[in-house]
Amino acid sequence: MSKSSKEKRVNPKKLIDTKAEPKKPRPYLMPIEWGGSWSMSLLASARVKKVGFEGLKPPYLILCNHASFIDFPLVVKAIFPHRCSWVISVEEFIGRNWLMRGIGGIYKRKFTQDMSVVKHILLVLTRQKISCTIYPEARYSLAGINEQIDGALGKLAKKAGCPVVIGISKGNFLRSPQWCKHPYRKLPIEAEFRQIVTREEVKRLSADEIQERIEEAFVYDDYAYQRDNKIAIDSVFRAQNIHRILYQCPVCGREFTTTSRGTKIWCRECRASWEMDVYGQLHRENGEDIFTHVPDWYRWERENVKNEILRGEYSFKDSARLERIVNTSEGFRVIGNVELTHDYNGFTMTGELENGQSFEFHRSVASMRSVHIEYDFKGRGDALDLCTLSDTYFVFPLTAENCLTKLHFATEELYKLERAEQKRRVQDKSPDKAPETV
């Protein structure tokens, strides 16, 4: 598809070139990073604990959970006085490309299989001899628990031949959940950075063994942390908008009928209602408790989506406003409306753009292990982020109500099903497969 005349006049220096090599973190920015990290950590009542760091020297791979902006200062504080590069989604470079590049930012388009990113991470670790921080969930946590992570991290660490550090922060999600980022809740944040693979171990362990260690260490539950430590959040907004993730009523089973305000969530269809206490637990107000722990409700919804897919009944379709990232200066531009479809073939968008050109987009199920979603993105509405290796589109459904969390579940469950089917087909073709007995 050819670009409009307006797009052809874009300054090429401002385009997002994901193949551009990352720069070493600029020394003149380090005092700003250090000073900002200490002050933000202090304001957020955040403490950093380091385990197994004795003798640890850069470069090493840092893998962290991701729930709010405070995650970045915690890394800077944990590795002080050393520096690191960061894998950062391209939209974060808009309006501050010089800064993101100056701190060693590596361009990444969400959930694309871009070998340039791997190449740049290895360059940082092996040639620049600088540590690299990755948020392997590639999105903010939605329910305060660990989400699916990349299955090739063990291979990456093995290829780089460097130690692996896992950073797990507790309380950062509760302070500013994605479905209600402001106002900040007042509670302590505890971050533990632990070396789980040493430089000697990475040489003798297999990539699969390293991956297993990573996945075992990459487990967290902020609501359990709050409950078990009796951390009270007395904010009157503690359940505000939680229906964004708890979209299905566990009493009547209807989807997209829940709503929430203040400390309560309820179903508009059957009138079941719950109150969230100061310890983050849910209590049914007009019947027996079903889910008291938010992640249990969230996981139940995922299981329902999985079963819907297995029954062959899943599909989604809606009209959507389409925005495209033009460059690091202008940022997003509305380019038209499209028909958005998600089903067993993956994501498809078709339509006619404002410049009169036809538009077609497709990402197969096998090409997307997950999808990035944003609740009320920058005040412009709910959006999902669909990318190719050269473009980033933010797609805003126009009529579907509160559909993002289910799309998130469906993308991941379809991917798992496709991968399992691919593995089965490979095994069926294997010459080592024993013949069936008659």
pLDDT at 4: 40
Tell me the pLDDT tens digit for each residue of 98-143: 999 999 999 999 999 899 999 999 999 999 999 999 999 998 999 9
Q: Fill in the amino acid letter for 385.
A: D
Per the model's pLDDT, the better-predicted residue between 23 and 430 turns out to be 23
Give the model's confidence band at 81: pLDDT under 50 very low, under 70 low, under 90 confident, else very high.
very high
Q: What is the spatial distance between Cα 67 and Cα 185, in angstroms, rounded to a whole number?
A: 13
pLDDT at 11: 52
On whether the CB atoms of residues 386 and 395 are closer than 8 A, the answer is yes
Beta bridge partners of 165: 62, 195
pLDDT at 359: 97
Q: Is residue 437 predicted with pLDDT exceeding 50?
A: no
Tell me the pLDDT tens digit for each residue of 158-179: 999 999 999 999 999 999 999 9
Mean pLDDT of 386-406: 97
Mean pLDDT (the chain) is 93
On whether the CB atoms of residues 25 and 103 are closer than 8 A, the answer is yes
Q: Which CATH class is domain 316-422?
A: mainly beta
Alpha helices in 123-279 (DSSP H): 153-160, 172-175, 199-204, 207-217, 222-228
pLDDT at 15: 67
DSSP secondary structure, 281-299, as one string? -EEESSS--S--SHHHHHH
**R_g over Cα of the chain:** 23
Give the model's confidence band at 427: pLDDT under 50 very low, under 70 low, under 90 confident, else very high.
confident
- Hey, where are the domains in the chain? 11-228, 242-310, 316-422
What share of the chain in percent tops pLDDT 70? Answer: 95
pLDDT at 423: 87
pLDDT at 10: 47
Residues 53, 57, 62, 67: is their CA dihedral positive or negative?
positive
pLDDT at 431: 64
Q: CA separation (Å) from 324 to 169, 333, 351, 353, 358?
A: 33, 5, 14, 11, 15
Q: Is residue 369 predicted with pLDDT exceeding 70?
A: yes
What CATH number is given for 11-228 in this structure? 3.40.1130.10
Per the model's pLDDT, the better-predicted residue between 299 and 425 turns out to be 299
Cα 435 from chain centre: 44
Tell me the pLDDT tens digit for each residue of 215-224: 999 999 999 9
Rounded (10°) angle between helices 153-160 and 115-122? 40
Give the model's confidence band at 16: pLDDT under 50 very low, under 70 low, under 90 confident, else very high.
confident
Q: What is the spatial distance between Cα 400 and Cα 383, in angstroms, rounded to a whole number?
A: 11
Backbone angles phi, psi at 270, to 5 degrees: -105, -5
Tell me the pLDDT tens digit for each residue of 214-253: 999 999 999 999 999 999 999 999 999 999 999 999 999 9
On whether the CB atoms of residues 386 and 367 are closer than 8 A, the answer is no
pLDDT at 273: 98
Q: What is the spatial distance between Cα 411 and Cα 211, in angstroms, rounded to a whole number?
A: 23
What share of the chain in percent tops pLDDT 90? Answer: 87
pLDDT at 17: 86
Q: Which pTM value belongs to this model?
A: 0.92
pLDDT at 432: 59
Closest CA to 38 of 2, 87, 74, 12: 74
pLDDT at 429: 78
Two tokens, residue 5: 């005349």
Q: How many residues in the chain?
A: 438
The full 3-state SS of 125-153, as one line of letters, equals HHHCCCEEEECCCCCCCCCCECCCCCCCH
Per the model's pLDDT, the better-predicted residue between 425 and 287 turns out to be 287
On whether the CB atoms of residues 271 and 287 are closer than 8 A, the answer is no
Mean pLDDT of 269-290: 97
